[in-house]
Structure 1
């Protein structure tokens, strides 16, 4: 499968153009406020449709070790009583990368994606305040691809991100994008 990638950035906190708050906004929470299984399940549920495969074989211990890293933060969107969004921030020198960001497809189209991206971007710009020894954030970066939701790129552009580069790569996915599946909790 041929995958088109678009690499984007913001170079100043003032670049952020916040989305309108939806009539029923989601709560955005750091994953350390939740059970350890919630982020792992969301990564699989949301990521399967977008080709997120890097952590497919991780067990609870792998997730726990990764989550304990001070240069990483996992965030979750909760809408009503359902956990519907997953995001991960990673510090790379004075850059913060939005490594993952996604919503469950059944919750897209309600304004939650713009709200979630706005809050995650704000948190990215302030990450140096939470990570000891991290330099002041100079740039927030992310990559979207043709595997992402149909509104992903337009959402990033509307929030003030600018395109840095476009690439194309051949990618082999373990399952077709959008395939149905069930995540089973491991004992």
Structure 2
């Protein structure tokens, strides 16, 4: 009999931004950066990004989805995926969910590959993801973080102009 997956409780903070942020983030120097919107992204590449960024934080939703489900979601007209490259290597990604437009654009997933954390890329990339979300003209931009995420995530989101609007809890399977 296989071992049961280890369960973790995540306290989720729901945040919103009701107007464009005026926070300006300079482009980090000393590293060549590119942000590219991925269109027709192959599932295997998406799974790679999702695992590299999400494994330390026990992201769960896409782990449970089939390749067909993921392909349908990530290649939908209401999804945008932006990949951050640093010196030619994938350093992070942001996934925008535009299904509730014009009311809301949600930054559904956002994060950096652990090798690229601590270099000042998070603020820069988040500012770009926020700008991409606002470019669609929503009434608000939403993002969520939880107690399993990077401990600086909530502080960064608030610094960038997001305001907490609610909390919830969810049980997730550990990504061991």
Q: Rate the CA distance shift 1:172–1:33 in 2: closer, same or farther, 3 A.
A: closer
Aligned counterpart for 2:114 among listed residues 105, 119, 132: 105
Deviation, structure 1 residue 75: 1.1
Higher strand share: 2
Q: Could you say which residue in structure 2 is the equivalent of 1:160?
A: 161
In structure 1, the partner of 2:26 is 20
In 2: Cα distance, 1:109 partner to 1:8 partner: 23
Deviation, 1:27, is 1.4
- Using the TM superposition, name which of 97-106 and 58-67 deviates more: 58-67
Alpha-carbon RMSD across the aligned residues, in angstroms, is: 2.0
Aligned match of 1:2: 9
**Which of the numbers 124, 128, 140 marks the counterpart of 1:119?**
128
How far does residue 71 in structure 1 lie from its aligned partner after superposition? Answer: 0.9
Is residue 2:57 matched to residue 1:56? no
The answer to whether 1:80 aligns with 2:87 is yes
Structure 2: which 5+ runs fail to align?
1-7
Is the 8 Å Cα contact of residues 81 and 96 (structure 2) preserved in structure 1? yes
What's the TM-score once normalised by structure 2's chain length? 0.84
Preserved CA contact (<8 Å) 1:21 1:111: no
Map of 2:39 onto structure 1: 32
Which residue number corresponds to residue 138 of structure 1? Answer: 139
- When residues 159 and 25 of structure 1 are mapped into structure 2, their CA distance, relative to the original with a 3 A threshold, is farther
Distance change in 2, residues 1:62/1:109 (3 Å):
same
| Structure 1: 5+ residue stretches without partners | 128-135, 180-187
- Asked whether 1:67 is paired with 2:107, we answer no
Partner of 1:185: none
- For the 8 Å contact 1:2–1:170, the answer to whether it is kept is yes
Return the offset for 1:60.
4.3
User: Matches of 2:141 and 2:150 in 1, distance apart?
Assistant: 21
CA contact (8 A) 1:67 1:74 kept: yes
